[in-house]
Amino acid sequence: MPTNRTFTMIKPDAVADGFSGPIIQQIEAAGFKIIAIKKVHLSKEEAGKFYAIHAERPFYQSLCDYMSSGAIIPMVLEKDNAVEDFRKLIGSTNPEQAAEGTIRKQFARSLESNAIHGSDSDENAAIEAAFFFSEKELA
């Protein structure tokens, strides 16, 4: 995947709360182009595979329950400096600590139910995009 791309998911809380539209609007207004998008409901096993990197963390089981509790909207986005700029746009993991105007500050419910995911490196963006999208969908 080109290095000017990142991967995101609108998480179950934000989809259920009806915030997909305003979140996508803010992502596009910030200059990100949507390369691929879909709506899926992960099983707990699939959520566990996606978050395998956190398997040893105390919150792993709860995270897998949460991420399989409802539909999510995975997307691949394109922009210069995509990974870093998108992490800035979404804000800190804990919405209480997220800066004003960030997506998590506006739309997240809690530390776990924090509305949106953003890849933390170009390498992980490519791995995460390939989890949801085919090569053809990313071309």
Q: How far is the CB of 60 from ligand RTP (least distance, A)?
A: 8
* DSSP count for the chain of H helices, then E strands: 8, 4
98-117 positions binding ligand RTP, by CB under 6 A: 111-112, 114, 117
For ligand RTP, the closer CB: 6 or 139: 6
Q: How far is the CB of 107 from ligand RTP (least distance, A)?
A: 13
87 marked as part of a ligand binding site: yes
For ligand RTP, the closer CB: 16 or 63: 63
Tokens 């179950």 sit at which residue? 12
Q: How far is the CB of 125 from ligand RTP (least distance, A)?
A: 11
C-alpha to C-alpha distance for 12 and 44, rounded to whole angstroms: 13
**With binding defined as CB under 6 A, does residue 63 bind ligand RTP?**
yes
Run of H or E including 8: strand 5-10
Largest Cα–Cα separation, the chain:
39
Q: Degrees (nearest 5) of the Cα angle 38, 95, 20?
A: 25
Residues in contact with ligand RTP by CB under 6 A are 59, 63, 93, 111-112, 114, 117-118, 120
